[in-house]
Amino acid sequence: MIITMMLSILLRAPLFCILGLVMAIQTAPEMSWIIAVGIAAVMLSVAIIISIVAPKFKLFQKLVDKITLITRENLTGLKVIRAFNNESIEKKKFTHTNHELTRLLIFVDRILELQNPLINIIFNGTTLLCSWIGISLLSQDFSYLGNMTAFAEYVTFIMMSFLMLSLFFIMMPRANVSAGRINEVLKTGAKIHFVKETRGVPEKRASVEFRKVDFCYPDAAEKVLDDISFKAEAGKTTAFIGSTGSGKSTLINLVPRFYEATSGEILIDGLSIHEYSREDLIKRIGLVPQKGILFAGTVKSNIKFGAPNATDKQVEEAAEIAQATHFIEKMPKGFNSHIAQGGTNVSGGQKQRLSIARAICKKPDIFVFDDAFSALDMKTDAKLRAALKPITKDAVVLIVAQRVSTIKDADQIVVLDKGKMVGKGTHQELLEKCKVYQSIVKSQLSDAEFRKEMSGTAR
């Protein structure tokens, strides 16, 4: 808006103003002081208005922010608000901010509305002044009438240009606040930089290796991951287990470079992740995030999300492995059934299965399942893992899980505790020597089952 105004006003107004001034002074030099008085009056009134209104604009933008935030939170958290009977509190919060905004807007509008009558008074005042002074000159020379009328016109002309300019200056503070906020977003650059083309040749066999990796979230004081080293190889499953908040998701998120390790090195197929172009890196990874996320479209479009060229057969196969066929076929249009925005029309477990199918359909070299089996019942979980076996025989599989049964058969289990790696090995090895793992297993089994597990290690 300000740029359009700038183009039309800033180019035209000064030109009009200068022309008007030259003509007015040529026509009636005796009265030119009236122009100075008029301009001064206009400038003064505009300056007063700006000084009152400008600081309010910043506040206005803040309040608009606040009200949008409250509205969004209320809409997304609707069910929780209802379940905890907090409607009245939320309503009060909204009403309070809304009133604040209303009051501010009314105040600002009143001040801005003052501008019109004020300018009218000044305009008419100068015309009156012109006539007043002109008449006294007219009594000496009647032919002055023409000059006087022309002069009055020129003065209006000049003041109009000034008025336009002042409108521009009233808009300026608001534009300034908005531009500042837009720039805040635009200036935020990507923190993680990828090279344009992959440097070096990755090994043929897929692998993921962490070498002494530390990680600390920006602005956080403590390390979330501390000295993590392991190697996950093709055809093998590497599992991660640990209590909530122990850093499992964080560790997994370092692989596709969602975050950058603070120190240490991560290698994929023997090549540091820093050497990969974004496309080459992402192409290798099939990620199933902890929270299943779907997009508006159809079941098929969601499964094909990472592999747009997949055939219908491949989509169906992926769904079959992810144990999703059963419920997809029950949907009214099968694979062409509609998925609502955010996947709100499928259950949590169904969402997770479709997310798994999406990763499988991509045929990646590295599968990353972040707690992806948690919403599945034990039977489906086992079936899914069995179905995954043949297609992951040449791929690296990284599985985060809470259930010991999910990862028991993994080739390598990494046990995390408060960001530290406290154990690494197979289920049996860890049962023998890792206290944290023992306690996790114990918490998930009955005493009798646990004794049975432990007796296995003794043998």
Ligand X SMILES: Nc1ncnc2c1ncn2[C@@H]1O[C@H](COP(=O)(O)OP(=O)(O)OP(=O)(O)O)[C@@H](O)[C@H]1O
Contact between 257 and ligand X per CB under 6 A:
no
Distance CA 212, CA 225 (A): 10
Contact between 249 and ligand X per CB under 6 A:
yes
Q: Which is nearer to Mg ion, 276 or 373 (CB)?
A: 373
**Tokens representing 62?**
């803040």
> Quick one: what does residue 146 bind among Mg ion, ligand X, none, with the CB cut-off 5 to 8 Å set by partner type?
none
Q: Which is nearer to ligand X, 211 or 223 (CB)?
A: 223
SS3 state at 240: strand
Options 3-11, 210-218, 288-296, 315-323: segment touching Mg ion (CB under 5 A): 288-296
Q: Which is nearer to Mg ion, 27 or 249 (CB)?
A: 249
> Quick one: what does residue 220 bind among Mg ion, ligand X, none, with the CB cut-off 5 to 8 Å set by partner type?
ligand X
> CB–CB of 428/404 below 8 Å?
no
Q: Which is nearer to ligand X, 38 or 423 (CB)?
A: 423
Contact between 246 and Mg ion per CB under 5 A:
no
Q: Is the dihedral of CA 342, 189, 68, 109 positive or negative?
A: negative
> Quick one: what does residue 224 bind among ligand X, Mg ion, none, with the CB cut-off 5 to 8 Å set by partner type?
ligand X
Distance CA 132, CA 129 (A): 5
CB of 328: closest distance to ligand X in angstroms?
27
> Quick one: what does residue 247 bind among ligand X, Mg ion, none, with the CB cut-off 5 to 8 Å set by partner type?
ligand X
> Which residue among 84, 107, 132, 217 contacts ligand X (CB under 6 A)?
217
Nearest residue to 134 via CA among 24, 20, 42, 43: 24
Distance CA 158, CA 169 (A): 17
Contact between 249 and Mg ion per CB under 5 A:
yes
> CB–CB of 428/398 below 8 Å?
no
> Quick one: what does residue 325 bind among Mg ion, ligand X, none, with the CB cut-off 5 to 8 Å set by partner type?
none
Q: Which is nearer to ligand X, 307 or 376 (CB)?
A: 376
Q: Which is nearer to Mg ion, 417 or 453 (CB)?
A: 417
Distance CA 255, CA 241 (A): 17
Nearest residue to 304 via CA among 293, 316, 321: 316
Give the Cβ contact number of residue 29 at 10 Å.
11
- Between 290 and 329, how does the x/- string for binding to ligand X read (CB under 6 A)? x---------------------------------------
Alpha-carbon Rg for the chain in angstroms: 36
Question: To which H or E segment does residue 61 belong?
Answer: helix 33-76
Q: Which is nearer to ligand X, 149 or 229 (CB)?
A: 229
Distance CA 165, CA 315 (A): 63
Give the Cβ contact number of residue 353 at 10 Å.
29
Number of chain positions touching Mg ion (CB under 5 A) = 2
Q: What single-letter DSSP state applies at residue 7?
A: I
Contact between 248 and ligand X per CB under 6 A:
yes
Q: Count helices and strands (H / E) in the chain.
A: 17, 12
Q: Which residues pair with 230 in a beta bridge?
A: 210
Contact between 224 and ligand X per CB under 6 A:
yes
Contact between 247 and ligand X per CB under 6 A:
yes
**Tokens representing 119?**
């300018």
Contacts of 426 (CB under 8 A, 6+ apart): 410, 411, 412, 413
Distance CA 347, CA 271 (A): 39
Options 247-255, 281-289, 313-321, 340-348: segment touching ligand X (CB under 6 A): 247-255
Options 82-90, 169-177, 286-294, 418-426: segment touching Mg ion (CB under 5 A): 286-294
> Which residue among 116, 140, 244, 309 contacts ligand X (CB under 6 A)?
244
- Between 371 and 400, how does the x/- string for binding to ligand X read (CB under 6 A)? x-----------------------------
Q: How far is CA 47 from CA 50, 109, 123, 169, 430, in A?
A: 5, 16, 17, 9, 76
SS3 state at 417: strand
Options 142-150, 176-184, 289-297, 327-335: segment touching Mg ion (CB under 5 A): 289-297
Residue whose structure tokens are 């089996």: 373
Contact between 250 and Mg ion per CB under 5 A:
no
CB of 290: closest distance to Mg ion in angstroms?
5
Q: Which is nearer to ligand X, 185 or 221 (CB)?
A: 221
CB of 102: closest distance to ligand X in angstroms?
36
The residues of the shown chain that bind Mg ion, judged by CB under 5 A, are: 249, 290
The residues of the shown chain that bind ligand X, judged by CB under 6 A, are: 217, 220, 224, 242, 244-250, 290, 371
